Amino acid sequence: MPGRAPAIRDLIAAGERSFSFEFFPPRDDEGEVRLWQTIRELEPLHPTFVSVTYGAGGTTRERTIRITGRIAVETTLTPVAHLTCVSHSRDELRQVIGHYADAGVRNMLALRGDPRGGPGQPWTSHPGGLDHAVELVQLVRRLGDFCVGVAAFPEKHPEAASPDSDAAVLAAKARAGADFAVTQLFFDAEDYFALLGRVRALGCEIPIIPGIMPITNVAQVSRFAELSGSAVPDRILDQLSPAKDAGEVRRIGVGLATALCDELLAGGAPGLHFYTLNRSKATREIFTALHVTSP
């Protein structure tokens, strides 16, 4: 039986900054080999945690669960398990949570998830399932002493009526038992700090970790931003437009991400969460530029 993993809430409460990495589930065995290479390259940085997402609409569930369990058993890393309401009954969710617990995974990220048809499509709940992340938080907390994270949206969730109503949803998730939040990717520090202000005005003190995606491919990052209800600002596109090749785009993108990280940490952000796209080089370069030291 694996040893008990530290709770993310305890690490943050102790005043330690959280530096974490997110991977997406590979489509095939070849992609999984590349993912494990990336995991091993990032392991020496001693991140606070790593996570593996579900595919769109809840696909790749089995591969995600298997990889997360392997991380817990075969590496020194602390995995945070993704859970979504998509295509799950309550009983299936209980089984998944039990599988994670058996592998020593005690930190969960509770998400509603995107509709099976993708972002922008109508949400349809699974028969016997859940409709909202707050319900999933409650379910996880009832099943044991888990540490639960949730999603936050600096530019509001695409389905939210307003930034204020979206902040109220995050506060409700905290009241339900969420211990920390991780934001979707964004590009302007003021969006993060504005979200923080809205949430704090509601009396909610949940730690909110900024989500960072370095721009190494403009079209790819623009697509991810669109799916999360965001957009790459014109000022950033203007800085990238003179780039003569992919290498130059990457150099500029890493520099922009490093500057954003500097501003967030200087403003008191409790850490950084990197969307790695299953590649380690850009993340490692940013770590070096920020002078982040491994324990």
Q: Which of 42, 20, 28, 29 is nearest to 279 (CA)?
A: 42
Structure tokens at 26: 């590979």
* Cβ neighbours for 257, distance < 8 A, ≥ 6 positions apart: 212, 213, 214, 215, 282, 286
Contacts of 167 (CB under 8 A, 6+ apart): 195, 198, 199, 201, 202
Within 8 A by CB and 6+ apart from 248, the residues are none
CB 276 within 8 A of CB 22: yes
**22 part of the active site:** yes
Contacts of 113 (CB under 8 A, 6+ apart): 54, 57, 58, 84, 85, 86
Q: What is the DSSP string of 116-164?
A: TT-TTSPP-PPTT--SSHHHHHHHHHHTSS-EEEEEE-TT--TT-SSHH
133-137-140-143 Cα dihedral, nearest 10 degrees: -130
Active site residue: 22, 30, 135, 226, which one? 22
Catalytic residues: 22
